Amino acid sequence: MKNTLLGLLTLVASFNVFAQTGEEFFTANCVACHGEQGNSLAASFPKLAGQNAKYLIKQINDFKSGARVNGLMVAPMAALPDEMINEVAQYLSKQNPSIGSAKADLVELGQMLYKAGNIETGVPACSACHSPTGKGNAPGGIPMLSGQHAGYVESQLYAYRLGARDESASDSVRVNDGDTKIMRSIAFKLKDFEIEAVASYINGLH
């Protein structure tokens, strides 16, 4: 009896999800953290507005599989059907992202790292993959960075840097950059002050 009831409740929940549009699902389940149209106000939550759909779909699936870990994302993503994942990603990709501003004293270093990298330490230019304007590469699933909260960018670079040493995914470690470990290898070479500068530059990049 309990199993039958649980099955019915799951089925009803599934119908409710399928009955929603991507915008409706996002508004009902995601706005509290990620903000209206995906423009979060808190640096601890990433801006999703304007992010390319291919990247968003991968990240949601990584949360579902455990390849990327975040305690707040487990429940809302766990049973999300593929159709709704695509709906939400398509909706967010069409929203206009808000832009922040870079700290004046960090612009020079941040710009250098973003556009040219650091040859001496083997850090490549961010612009090579994420584009000079920070728009990313939608067909390649490379994320847009333009306007992203500096605090969030910093936290992810630190998480990738930890992932270079520890490949067990956790809330503070990111290892879902693929077998090439491109972000882990880059973050591992970045010093703290470089992370701060490039994150600040990205926040004002447009």
Q: Which two tokens stand for residue 48?
A: 């999703």
**Residue 80: what are its φ and ψ, rounded to 5°?**
-75, 120
- Sequence-distant (≥ 6) Cβ neighbours of residue 11 within 8 angstroms: none
Tell me the C-alpha distance between 179 and 157, whole Å: 17
Total domains, the chain? 2
Tell me the C-alpha distance between 84 and 164, whole Å: 33
Q: How confident is the model at residue 5 (pLDDT cuts 50, 70, 90)?
A: very low
39 and 71 belong to one structural domain = yes
108 and 88 belong to one structural domain = no
Half-sphere exposure of 118 (CA within 13 A, CB side): 17
88 and 109 belong to one structural domain = no
In a domain, 13, yes or no: yes
Contact assessment for residue 157 and residue 171, using Cβ atoms and an 8 Å cutoff: no
Tell me the C-alpha distance between 141 and 158, whole Å: 21
Of 39, 61, 93, the residue at which a domain comes to its end is 93
If you average pLDDT over residues 28-43, what whole number do you get?
A: 96
User: Residue 19 pLDDT more than 70?
Assistant: no
51 and 118 belong to one structural domain = no
Q: How confident is the model at residue 159 (pLDDT cuts 50, 70, 90)?
A: very high
pTM: 0.89
Structural domain of residue 61, as residue ranges? Answer: 2-93
16 and 50 belong to one structural domain = yes
In a domain, 98, yes or no: no
Question: What's 98's DSSP letter?
Answer: P
Question: What's 177's DSSP letter?
Answer: S
CATH number at residue 140: 1.10.760.10
Q: How confident is the model at residue 17 (pLDDT cuts 50, 70, 90)?
A: low
In a domain, 84, yes or no: yes
Of 47, 62, 93, the residue at which a domain comes to its end is 93
* pLDDT tens-digit readout, 116-158: 999 999 999 999 999 999 999 999 999 999 999 999 999 999 9
* pLDDT tens-digit readout, 57-88: 999 999 999 999 999 998 888 889 999 999 99
